Amino acid sequence: MKKTGKNKGQFFLSLCLLSVFVLTAFLTLSSFSGSADPYDTEAGKYTRDDLRRGQRLFKGLMPFSSGLHDCASCHYPSRTDTMNWNPSAHDLAMLWLEDDDYSIREKLAMPIGTRMIEDHMGMSVTEQEEHYLEAYLMEVARRGPGELQAIPVNAMIFWGLGILMALAIIDLLVTKKIKTKVFHVLILVVGLMVHMQYAVAESRNLGRTEGYAPDQPIKFSHQIHSGQHEIDCQYCHTISKFSPSAGIPSNNTCLNCHSVIREGTNSGRFEINKIHRAEASGNAVSWIRVHKLPDHSVFSHAQHVNAGGVECQDCHGPVETMHILMQTSDLSMGWCLTCHRDSNVDFSANPYFQTYQRLYEKVLNGELDAVTAAELGGEDCMSCHH
Amino acid sequence: MMKNNYWKSIEEKEGKESMEEMQEQQDSSMMEILANESNNKASSRRDFLKWCGISFVSATVISACENPVKKAIPYLTQPEELTPGKGIWYASTYQNGNEYCPILVKNRDGRPIKIEGNYSSAITGGGTTARVQASILTLYDNGARYQQPRKNGQAIAWDEADREIMAQLKAFSAQGRKMALVTPTLLSPATKALISEAQEAFPGLEVVTWDPVSPEAIRKAHLESFGNAVFPEYRFDKAKLIVSFGADFLGSWISPAVHARQYAATRKISQDKPEMSRHIQFESRMSLTGANADERIPVKPSEQLNILMALYNAMARATGNTGIDGPNVDYDVNALARDILANRGQSLIVSDHQSTESQVLVNAINAMAGNYNHTLLTGNPLMTGMGDDTGLEQLVSQMEEGQYAAVMFCNSNPAYHFHNQEKIARAISNTELTISFASTRDETAETCTYILPDNHYLESWNDAMFKEGHYSLTQPAIHRLFDTRQMQDTLLTWMGHDNDFHSWLKEYWSTNLFGKQSRYPDRESFWMHSLQAGVFEHPVSPVVLPAIRTAAATEAIQKLRQHVAQNTGTEFLVYPHLSLYDGACANNPWLQELPDPVTSVVWDNFAAVSPAFAKANNLSDGDEIRVGNKITIPVLIQPGQADDCMSIALGYGRTQAGKAGDLVGSNAFPLIRMDGTTRLFDGQLGAWEKAGSRHRFARTQTHFSMEGRPIVRESTLDKYRKDPAAGNEIRAYHQKYALTLYPEDTFEGHHWVLMIDLNACTGCSTCVIACQSENNVPVVGKDEVRRRRIMHWMRIDRYYNGETDNPGVVFQPVMCMHCDHAPCESVCPVAATTHSVAGLNQIAYNRCVGTKYCINNCPYKVRRFNWFAYANNKAFDYHKNSEFGRMVLNPDVTVRERGVVEKCSFCVQRIQEGKLNAKNERRKVNDGEIIPACVQGCPAGALVFGDLNDKNSKAASLIEDSRNYHLLEEFHTLPSVGYLTKIRNPKV
């Protein structure tokens, strides 16, 4: 009986080991499987060779007839985590898809706008080369802009510790190679603690997106607009004084200025043209939402901007310094309440606060130092959750 | 101490357990069995560890998940009048046959989400009814709405259908064949003008106006009595004595929202005005109006006519006219006649009887009482009741013979509403071209060749004239959701017009109405201002009635006598249901789940019988009976029902209404029969038998019972005049012993309170639907209501008082009391329910873990538990399970998840919005500026919401009223909801 019991235990453990191995192998393989066969040419219009030539031309590995131009050095073929003002390869590909008559040859022959003229000086491509480039760019369009590939340090630590712990258990119970059991215990204790810490930290941040700074469909820079040119936030976010929503400016708001200002210092004409393209096509720009609250929370910009007199930067951070907009606060309930508890209400600023006559008098008499937003209902659950 | 003699059900009165309770116990024992079964599979420590492991791993995995990318897509060109995230209101008009209500439609980000009354209307003054409030849900009923034109069940393009139909209509006109357009009463002058133009374009086209529930007898009786077929305007507000013969004017007769407002005006009393009207109701069923009466006489329909005739005689004798020997009745009509004459010109006699003769008598009595031009105005007559029963009867007979080449049904469903269903079916099948303009599925449209779906009224242009000189406009509040077209546009297309009905309507107003005002100098500004206000009024030259023709009454009595003599034995009465009315809106789950205020039955109709009748015939609640081959229906024992009489609600038993309305209850229209020039809704029941089967009702009657404490308080006017605290004496006692160890709560700033005047509340339940619409309250279905899981945040409690044959009735709206010492708050283990600084009892849904301790500890039983996820759940296939149906949800109110408790919040979203508006405009909140949905919807103005800390507010003054009391004050829960004692005005 005893023997079978032990056998059973061994079988179970080896199964565990096997499954850990299979899982690791699977994860490793799956990360490579994406690049197995990227070149799937479309309906015989381009050959695999066209595609390869296009890629080499674009990346500066093969000279054009007019010389060696590394397109990819400005028009990045993959996503980066820094601001690149030039249109990416994907941007160009999308433009090509949109416009049937698009021709790189013509664009290079007659560049528009100062930036484009300066940067493409002396460049030209032949019809054949254009065909190669088209083959490559269509492939880029098909693949999409791609994801930013960061090294998953945390995941590596998590899984590494997991494997180490599994090995420790196996050695502790089955193989028994290491006699000093302190090692096993240490690995298990430290491993479990780190795992717990991850679980707690990750679950706390579940749904929170502090530091979120996605690439937007237009490289709109708040730094240039509100920092450099000092345009008031509410010039574009007009409804923030009246509505719960601050309002993403509609296309016609952009055109207030950009019907005249057709070229940017950094991005040339390409980005501003997207506004005009949207206007022409009738499809509004699909911005990526940065600041999000869960559905059960109600937040009113009008309450804070208009009635409360809160500065935009108090919640949104130094937006006027950001090229790519980033969420700087975690937008958690604790963060909201801290502010509600710390913000004093200026009773004299608004006749509405005469409703709180007794409190007002207490402040005048010096019985109270100040009245915080929390004391006027800023801490009531249903003020925000209803 | 006050002796409590109120009861909620017959079983409770007799100390027995109710049928519902017994059934529920059976259910719960079933639940135990199920629970025991699962217990046999004992879970072990190992299972526990397994689950621990799984939850740890899943927490880690979930936390590694990425947040979904959300898009923020702005307008390309933002409309100037629109602020995303804020509501925008459009004035419009609800009209459906005889029903009329000027409304405001709240639009959020392009979709209508709430309907409220239009305060600018002199007719309704902002009042609504449950049906008006619920009509918004039909807009999003993608299951029942026709989404494209059809021919023989197959989709067809509009232009193709137009081509085919126009060719046929032209051919029929050329051949001189007859065609008919069947419509209900049309209140729209522009549409009527359009239809008469269509008649010119297609010679041979007749218009047949027919209402399923029709007050046309009143119009026909005025033709008999005065030679002028006017429909008078009733002014209950000017009456000191109201005598109603069966007319449920607060529930379903003519225009309940208008009547409720007028009636409440005569019922609201204060120490400054200790006067109120007296209301006597003769009726066969326990109606909402009868429940409000000071004196209620339950008599069967034929006896009602006898009393009417006897009253006529008594009045005739007392005024020196010639009476004829009337029947002997059990009621002192002479005393009543004296009372009526003592209130000359200040009484009002009404009857809902469908025979012209009885209405002729009512006219004669009103004339003798001097009520014309005082409480009965014919100066600006009403435009309702244009239907003609004989017209349709004739049409159906001739259609059956194949005399009609084409028939079109506009907003008309005779296949369901007509009393002889085989005949109408034959008539439709014997007609060559049949067209229905139905916007939602109905029995008639399903048998027609073409279905050319009309828009929902919230997608349409229209106008309405309910009263001569009082106009209002209907404007679209949303773009068409489906491929539908307004009936008027369809007609214009067939007539070969290029412009649409919008421009036709504008042109009509410009030609016919612009000249009748002088305020706006040009046509465009007149149109825009009328559209913005929704209503337009202009003075008209009053209709002057000639002297009454007394012979009419004599003739009428002779006919009525014959009619009464025919009715022997058990009688029946069919009546339009309070929420479903004639059944056109039967697929509206809000209305189906609205408890009938008197019987508290939901999702059903029934044959109400008196307790004595039930005992004599050995019937109990839910026994099904069969009446000939016309109807099979369960019996419900109704206290106060006239003996030897069954009353059955119309509007049920639809077969082609949609998933919510199909086969709910039984169709009572086949019981109606034609008699003379009108259809009669009552008569001899004939042979009936027990069907042998039993039916289980879903009733809210015994739910949330408060165990017989003095929670409704009433008194009489006489006692009130002597002591304003009459009926409320116990309050002083409670206040004397209201001691507490805790410091008194102070509320800085606001302290919200709600005052409910039981004297003005008629129990019409509009507030319940208004609340449901505003607060995304789910529909749970019949089965769940049987398990007492109805989710309404607000309920109308109904208490009986006295004997079962004719009890007094008190209605009491109950919602969260927002107690200052709330028992629910102290027992919540996770502090999910707390008190706000403005006195609101709040609940944070996302914090609630569903222990339900608060529900158990709430003495008012106003908290509701989400037993299931009611949104996105196939098991609750109502509007929240459909992408379209969910468009009606209010984005300012969370849709609650499974496992959390919810309850009335005093519409905190409106309070927040109101406060914010005041802050942003740098001013204090005005009294009456912030009102919850229930207060807004109330047609009687029975509910007053306000800030107790604002000493000038109406609510603060009412709370000082000596009639004010709070529910279960002895618990010292300090509720923020106050009730004003009900005062009745019986004859001393």
Provide the pLDDT for residue A207: 78
Residue A41, domain member (yes or no): no
Determine, yes or no, domain membership for B545: no
Min Cα separation A17/chain B (Å): 18
Q: What is the mean pLDDT of residues B840-860?
A: 93
Q: Does A45 touch chain B (CB under 8 A)?
A: no
Residues 209-268 of B with CB under 8 A from A: none
B977 burial via Cβ count (<10 Å: 0-12, 13-18, 19+):
buried
Q: Do both B583 and B609 map to the same domain?
A: yes
In chain A, which residues have their Cβ closer than 8 Å to the Cβ of B72? 248, 286-289
| β-bridge mates for residue B154, sequence order | B151
- Please state, for a pLDDT cut of 90, what percent of chain B lies above it: 72
B918: nearest CA partner in chain A: A352
For residue A12, the model assigns a pLDDT of 59
B423 or B676: which carries more pLDDT confidence?
Answer: B423
pLDDT at B528 exceeding the cut of 90: yes
Q: Does residue A169 sit in the same domain as residue A236?
A: no
User: Is B52 inside a domain boundary?
Assistant: no
Q: Is A200 in the B-facing interface, judged by CB distances under 8 Å?
A: no
Span of A261-270, B332-341, B595-604, B690-699 with lowest mean pLDDT: A261-270
Q: What is the DSSP string of B835-867?
A: E-TTS-EEE-TTT-----HHHHH-TT---EE--
CB contact under 8 A, A355 and B925: yes
B923 interfaces chain A, CB cutoff of 8 Å: yes
Q: Decide if A244 is inside a domain.
A: yes
pLDDT at A31: 44
CB proximity B934 to A under 8 Å: no
Query: What are the b/e assignments for B922-942, b being 16+ CB within 10 Å?
Result: eebbebeebbbbbbbbbbbbb
Q: Domain check: are A256 and A280 in the same one?
A: yes
Please give the structure tokens belonging to residue B744.
Answer: 């008194």
- Mean per-residue pLDDT, B830-853: 93
Of B72, B894, B912, the CB nearest to A248: B72
The answer to whether position A210 is within a domain reads no
A314 and A361 co-located in one domain = no
List the one residue out of B984, B933, B870, B918 whose CA is nearest residue B589: B870
Alpha carbons B871 and B779: distance in angstroms, whole number:
10
Q: Indicate yes or no: CB of B924 within 8 angstroms of CB of A350.
A: no
Same domain, A359 and A374: yes
pLDDT tens, position by position, B770-800: 999 999 999 999 999 998 899 999 999 998 8
pLDDT band at residue B972, thresholds of 50, 70 and 90? confident
Same domain, A240 and A315: yes
Please indicate, yes or no, whether residues A54 and A131 belong to a single structural domain of this protein: yes
Cβ neighbours of B83 in A, within 8 Å? 239, 242-243, 247
Residue with tokens 């109704």: B638
Read off the tokens for A204: 């706390």
Count of structural domains, chain B: 4
Divide the 386 residues of chain A into consecutive groups of 10 and give the mean pLDDT of each group: 49 62 55 42 71 88 85 84 83 83 81 82 84 87 75 84 90 85 90 89 81 89 93 93 91 93 86 91 92 90 92 94 92 93 88 88 84 90 92
Same domain, B155 and B274: no
Q: Taking CA atoms, what residue in B is nearest to A309?
A: B920
Are A383 and B85 a contacting pair at CB < 8 A?
A: no
For B14, B687, B804, the CA distances from B611, given in Å and listed in that order, are 12, 20, 7
Indicate the Cα dihedral angle B248, B250, B251, B254, nearest 10°.
70
Q: Which amino acid is at B343?
A: N
- The CA distance from A183 to A189, in Å, is 10
Chain A nearest CA to B41, separation (Å): 25
Does the structure show a pLDDT above 50 at B822?
yes
Q: Does residue B73 have a pLDDT over 60?
A: yes
For residue A175, what pLDDT is reported?
Answer: 85
pLDDT in tens, B346-383: 999 999 999 999 999 999 999 999 999 899 998 889 99
B741 touches chain A (CB under 8 A): no
A259 and A321 inside one domain: yes
Residue-wise pLDDT for B125-147, tens only, equals 899 999 999 999 999 999 999 99
Question: B281 pLDDT exceeds 50?
Answer: yes
The partner residues of B965 in beta bridges, in order of sequence, read B979
Determine the residue of chain B that is closest to A290 in CA distance.
B70
**Residue of B73, B836, B843 with shortest CB distance to A286:** B73
Q: Is A242 on the interface with B (CB under 8 A)?
A: yes
State which H helix or E strand residue B674 sits in.
strand B673-675
Task: Flag whether B11 is in a domain.
Answer: no
Question: Does B910 score more than 80 pLDDT?
Answer: yes
Burial classification of residue B501, based on how many CB atoms lie within 10 Å of its CB (0-12 exposed, 13-18 middle, 19 or more buried): buried
Instruction: Determine contact, residues B381/B197, Cβ cutoff 8 Å.
Output: no
State whether residue B909 sits within 8 Å of chain A by CB: yes
Domain check: are B273 and B361 in the same one?
A: yes
Q: Give the closest-approach CA distance of A239 to chain B in angstroms.
A: 7
Residue B936 sits in a domain whose CATH number is: 3.30.70.20
Indicate if B759 and B897 belong to the same structural domain.
yes
Q: What is the pLDDT of residues B445-463, one digit of tens each?
A: 999 999 999 999 999 999 9
Residue B370 lies in a domain: yes
Residue B547 lies in a domain: no
Q: Interhelix angle for B501-512 vs B487-494, to 10°?
A: 90
Same domain, B827 and B878: yes
pLDDT class of B36 with cuts at 50, 70, 90:
very low
On the question of pLDDT at B942 being above 90, the answer is: yes
pLDDT band of residue B738 (cuts 50, 70, 90) is confident
Residue B20: pLDDT band (50, 70, 90) is low
Q: Are residues B353 and B306 in the same domain?
A: yes
Domain that holds residue A59: 48-143
Which residues from A are below 8 Å from B905, CB to CB?
382, 386
Which pLDDT does position B3 carry in this prediction?
47
All residues at 6 or more sequence positions from A318 whose CB lies less than 8 Å from its CB, including other chains: A328
Q: Which chain A residues have a beta carbon less than 8 Å from that of B909?
A: 298, 386
Say if residue A230 is in the same domain as residue A317. Answer: yes
SS3 label, residue B723? coil
CA nearest to B268, candidates B712, B597, B756, B711: B756
Put simply, the answer to whether B846 touches A300 (Cβ < 8 Å) is: no
**Domain co-membership, A27 together with A60:** no
Segment B728-738 mean pLDDT: 85
What average pLDDT does this structure show over B241-267?
93
Mean pLDDT of B50-63: 62
Over residues B304-329, the mean pLDDT reads 85
The residues in B 313-352 lying below 8 A from A, measured between CB atoms, are: none
Domain assignment present for residue A265? The answer is: yes
CB-defined contacts A:B, below 8 A = 175
Q: Are residues B687 and B722 in the same domain?
A: no
The DSSP symbol for B151 reads E
DSSP 8-class letter at B350: E
Q: Check B749 against A286: CB less than 8 A apart.
A: no
Residues B887 and B965 in one domain: yes
Cβ contacts of A283 on chain B, cutoff 8 Å: 76
Query: What six digits make up the tokens of B201?
Result: 């374009």
pLDDT bucket at B8, cuts 50 / 70 / 90: confident
User: Is residue B2 pLDDT above 50, yes or no?
Assistant: no
Residue B35 pLDDT greater than 60, yes or no:
no
The predicted pLDDT at position B24 comes to: 55
In a domain, B589, yes or no: yes
Q: In degrees to the nearest 10, what's the CA dihedral of B255, B260, B266, B270? A: -160
- Are B193 and B241 part of one and the same domain? no
* Structure confidence at residue A30 (pLDDT): 47
pLDDT at B52 > cutoff 70: no
Residue A296 touches chain B, beta carbons under 8 Å: yes
Q: A83 CA to chain B: closest CA distance, Å?
A: 20
- Among B71, B834, B927, which would you mutate to test the A interface (most chain A Cβ atoms within 10 Å of its Cβ)? B71
**Cα atoms found within 13 Å of the Cα of residue B934, Cβ hemisphere only:** 30
From chain A residues 113-142, the ones with a CB under 8 A of any chain B CB are none
Determine the pLDDT at residue B65. Answer: 59
Whole-number average pLDDT of chain B: 89
Of A205, A303, A355, the CB nearest to B749: A355
Give B562's pLDDT tier (boundaries 50, 70, 90).
confident
Asked if the structure places residue B682 within a domain, the reply is yes
Phi-psi map region of A146: left, alpha, beta (phi>0 left; psi -120 to 50 alpha): left
What gap in Å lies between CA B864 and CA B793, rounded to an integer?
7
What is the structure's pLDDT at A93?
A: 87
Instruction: Tell me, yes or no, if A199 comes closer than 8 A to chain B by beta carbon.
Output: yes
Clarify whether residues B785 and B916 are in a common domain.
yes
**d(C-alpha B491, C-alpha B188), whole Å:** 15
Verify whether the Cβ–Cβ distance B76 to A251 is below 8 Å.
yes
Of A199, A283, A375, nearest to B56 by CB-CB distance is: A199
* Res B491 pLDDT > 70: yes
Nearest CA in chain A to B905: A386
Count of domains for chain A: 5
Q: Domain of B583: which CATH number?
A: 2.40.40.20
Q: Please indicate, yes or no, if residue B653 is contained in any of the structural domains.
A: yes
Mutating which of B52, B69, B77, B947 best tests the A interface, going by the most A Cβ atoms within 10 A? B77
Which residues of chain B have a CB within 8 Å of the CB of A294? Answer: 846
Residue A277 covered by a domain = yes
pLDDT tens readout for residues B670-696: 999 888 888 999 988 888 999 989 999
A360 interface with B at CB cutoff 8 Å: no
Which residue range is the domain that position B474 belongs to?
77-208+401-408+427-533
The answer, for B677 touching chain A at a CB cutoff of 8 Å, is no
Cβ–Cβ under 8 Å, residues B530 and B536: yes
List the single best residue of B75, B835, B895 to mutate versus A (max A Cβ within 10 A).
Answer: B75
| B500 and B489 Cβ atoms separated by less than 8 Å | yes
